[in-house]
Structure 1
Amino acid sequence: MKLFLERLLYFWAGITVIGLGIAALYWAIKVVIYIAFISLFVAIAATAFYHFYWVQRDK
């Protein structure tokens, strides 16, 4: 019985570590994509401001 409980503990720990790794990977990918989209919209706004206002203010 002790061997069974020991193996159960090892399997449970292994499955838990794998699950936490998958969750961390999913979270990291989600955060990177979220930040990338925010950066894209900030870059579009900055480029539009520069192109339509900042460059033409001297003319």
Structure 2
Amino acid sequence: MVKIEEGIWRWYHNISECYYHIQLTVKYRKSLLTTKVEQAIIEALRGIKERYAIEISEIGFD
């Protein structure tokens, strides 16, 4: 059984808090991501957020 309170996961045998930092980098840092591509990425991340009940704290593009 999992209880999630204020970002803390409470299981039968432990209490934990988990954060991930995921960074996707374009080769040679070229400006290949158009506004349309950026919006598609954001929509995909929203779907992942809803499906897996996670929190995305920040999305940014250079």
More helix by share: 1
Bucket of the pairwise TM-score, normalised by the shorter protein: 0.3 to 0.5
Structure holding more strand per residue: 2
Question: TM-score when scaled to structure 2?
Answer: 0.32
